[in-house]
Chains A and B, each alone.
Chain A
C-alpha cells in the first residue's frame, strides 16, 4: 500500500515538474515519449506491488538461447 502511494507520489511529482518544463519549451515529442515511459514504469511498479503475475523477459531470453548453449556445451565437454 505504502509502496503504491510512494510511487504514485514520486511519479506525479516528477511528471509535474518535468512536464511543465517540456510544455513551456514546446517539446511535444519529448513530452509524448516521457509520458509513455513514465506511465509504463508506474503501471509496472503498481502491478509488482500488487503481486500480479507479469511475463518475465529473462524467461524468453532463456528459451531462445538455451538451444545454442546446449550445442556449445556438447561440443566442449
Chain B
C-alpha cells in the first residue's frame, strides 16, 4: 500500500533540490563563513560544495538499492525490524528538529526586521498554516508550486546581484589565503550541514520521482546549482560589504539589500532579499514537514499521512519556542552541535545502511533483486 500516490517529474525534483539548498543558507551562510574563514569564506564554500557531492554520492547509491522505498521503509528492510525502527526514529527526530529551527528562523527574522510588535507565535502559526496546506495537498502540488515560484527566486537573485554592481570592491576579499589553509577548512566544515547534509531529507521523497534512471543526475545538478547560487551570494556579499561587516550582522544578506542605491531612484529594496528567503524557506519547511509526517506514517504503518499533520503542527510550534530560549543558544547550536549532529544522522547512518544493504544484496543475490522491484 502506498501512502503517497503523487508522482513528481525529474524537473520538479531538480527545482525542489535547488530551492531546498538555497533555503536557510541565504541568510546564515555568509555570516558563518565570515566568522570562521574571514575573507577566504568564498573559497571555503566552494570546497564545501565539492565535499557535499560526496554525501550526495552516498544518498544516490543508497536510494538506488531500493528505488521504490523511502528511508524509513528500507532501513527496516536492511537492519531488521527493531534496529531499523530505531534508525528511523533517530532520523525523524532530526527532521523534526530541522523543522523547528526553520520555523524559528523565519519567525525571528520577521519579528526583528518587518513586524516588530507582532508576537512571534502568531507569525509562526501563520507560516506553518501555509506550510500545512501544502503538506495536506501532497508532494505533487508542492512540486508544481516550486516550479511556479522558482523563476521568481532566480530573478530576484539576479536583480540583487545586478543592482549591487556599484558597491563591488575587490579590495574587500584581499589578501587571499591570508591565514593559510586552516581557516578555509574550518569555514567549509561549518557550512557542510546547512544545505548539503540536510539534503538527506530527500531520501523520503526520492521514491515518488518518476524515471528513476535520471534521478541521480538531477540530484547532483540540483545541489550544484543551489550551491553555486549561495556561492555567488557569499562572494558578492564579501566583495560589497567586506567580511568584518558580514560577520557582525545577524542578517547580513538583508543588509546587502539595504546597500542598494542607484541614482537616488532605486533605494531600500531590501525586501527582495526577504521575499527570496520567504519563498525558499517555505519550500524547505514544507518538504521537511512532509518528510516528517510521511515518515511517521510509514513507521507506524498508518493509512494516511494527512492524519498526523495537525498534531505535528502543534508540536512543531511548541518545540520551536521551547528549543531556543534565546538567540545565544541558537547561535551556539548552529556553530557547535549542528555539523556533528548532522554528520552522525545524515552521513554515518546512511553510510552504514549502504554498507549493510550492499552486503545483504550480494549475499542473497537474485532473490533481493526480484523483491526490490515490487
Cβ of A1 within 8 Å of any chain B Cβ, yes or no, is: no
Residues of B within 8 A of A33 (CB): 296, 300, 302, 307-308
Q: Is the CB of B189 within 8 A of A30?
A: no
Q: Is the CB of A65 within 8 A of B341?
A: yes
Count of chain B residues with a beta carbon within 8 Å of a chain A beta carbon: 37
Cβ of B355 within 8 Å of any chain A Cβ, yes or no, is: no
Most buried by B among A10, A14, A45, A65: A65
In Å, the complex CA distance between A6 and B26 comes to 35
Identify which of residues 7-45 in chain A touch chain B, using a CB-to-CB cut-off of 8 Å.
7, 10-11, 14, 18, 22, 25, 27, 29-30, 33-34, 37-38, 40-42, 44-45
Q: Is the CB of A58 within 8 A of B182?
A: no
Q: Is the CB of A58 within 8 A of B189?
A: no
In the complex with contacts A30-B307, A34-B307, A48-B322 CB distance below 8 A? yes
Cβ of B185 within 8 Å of any chain A Cβ, yes or no, is: yes
Q: Is the CB of A30 within 8 A of B303?
A: yes
Residues of A within 8 A of B301 (CB): 29
Nearest-Cβ distance from residue B198 to partner chain A, whole angstroms: 15
Q: Interface residues of B: mostly helix, strand, loop or mixed?
A: helix
In Å, the complex CA distance between A54 and B336 comes to 22
Q: Is the CB of A48 within 8 A of B321?
A: yes
Q: Is the CB of B189 within 8 A of A76?
A: yes
Q: Is the CB of B322 within 8 A of A29?
A: no
In Å, the complex CA distance between A12 and B315 comes to 15
Cβ of B110 within 8 Å of any chain A Cβ, yes or no, is: no
Q: Is the CB of B340 within 8 A of A22?
A: no
A48-59: contact bitstring with B at CB < 8 Å (1 yes, 0 no)? Answer: 100000101111
Return the contact of B337 from the options A25, A66, A77 (Cβ within 8 A). Answer: A66
- Could you list 27 A-B pairs, sorted by A, with CB under 8 Å? A22-B307, A27-B303, A29-B301, A29-B302, A30-B303, A33-B308, A34-B308, A34-B311, A37-B308, A38-B310, A40-B311, A40-B315, A41-B318, A44-B318, A44-B322, A45-B317, A45-B318, A54-B322, A57-B97, A58-B323, A58-B324, A65-B340, A68-B340, A69-B337, A76-B182, A76-B185, A76-B189
Closest 9 CB pairs of A and B: A41-B314, A37-B311, A65-B340, A38-B311, A76-B186, A65-B337, A68-B340, A69-B336, A41-B315
